[in-house]
């Protein structure tokens, strides 16, 4: 089965996905992060990197993502790309991903593409307050991506927040389950895991 998990930046999507894998076991579930499928921007001049809108649907390689989801669904392993957020480029190395009974597709815009959405057996929207999401993003981008506070705030106000309102928030209407309080809602998480086990 294919489980789609979406929500705003810092909402707790990855936490939910990892909790599901932890409950089912890595032999039964695997995560595909949409972030791995950003288009390669290494050919762009360095001064244009900061102007890339990473929160717009056009930032992703939808064709490859859907091809890989179809392959995994058919029982074939894939070579998942690795995206370098420091250089805004796709690495020459890849990660081999084997098919599993449960495939979790996680990302801010995974409900945006109708074809991808139709592949999903269960769709989950992870909800969290905007201030909580911003603080989590700020912490992540400083620690993991070496970015400055000024650049994070500028990007949030210029692209992240507008794209959330235009694309991410409206995708909530496609969800089968909406999880409030982000990735720490134990009742909702247990419900999802129980439902997956029933479907399997």
Q: How far apart, in Å, are the Cα atoms of 16 and each of 11, 56, 102?
A: 10, 23, 14
Q: What pLDDT shows up at residue 155?
A: 83
Q: Is 7 left (phi over 0), alpha (psi -120 to 50) or beta?
A: left
Q: How many domains does the chain have?
A: 1
The string of pLDDT tens digits covering residues 88-107 is 889 999 999 999 999 999 99
CB 10 within 8 A of CB 128: yes
Dist CA 10 CA 143 (whole Å): 14
- Tens-place pLDDT, residues 32-66: 999 999 998 877 766 666 678 889 999 999 999 99
Strands 89-97 and 102-106: unpaired
Average pLDDT over residues 151-172: 90
What is residue 134's predicted lDDT score, i.e. its pLDDT? 87
- Structural domain containing residue 91: 2-199
CATH number of the domain to which 189 belongs = 3.40.50.300
Output the pLDDT for position 184.
81
């Amino acid at each position: 089965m294919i489980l789609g998990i979406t929500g705003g930046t810092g909402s707790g999507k990855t936490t939910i996905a990892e909790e599901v894998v932890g409950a089912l076991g890595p032999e039964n579930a695997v995560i595909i992060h949409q972030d791995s499928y950003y288009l390669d921007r290494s050919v762009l001049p360095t001064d244009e990197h900061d102007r890339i809108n990473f929160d717009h649907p056009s930032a992703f390689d939808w064709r490859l993502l859907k091809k890989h989801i179809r392959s995994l669904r058919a029982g074939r392993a894939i070579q998942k790309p690795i995206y370098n957020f420091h250089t805004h480029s796709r690495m020459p190395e890849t990660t081999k991903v084997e098919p599993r009974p449960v495939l979790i597709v996680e990302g801010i815009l995974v409900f945006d593409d109708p074809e991808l959405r139709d592949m999903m057996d269960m769709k989950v929207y992870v909800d969290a307050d905007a201030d909580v999401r911003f603080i989590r993003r700020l912490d992540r981008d400083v620690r993991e991506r070496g970015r400055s506070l000024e650049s994070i705030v500028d990007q949030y106000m210029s692209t992240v927040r507008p794209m959330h309102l235009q694309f991410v928030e409206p995708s909530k209407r496609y969800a089968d389950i909406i999880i409030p309080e982000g990735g720490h809602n134990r009742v909702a998480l247990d419900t999802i895991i129980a439902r997956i086990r029933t479907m399997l």
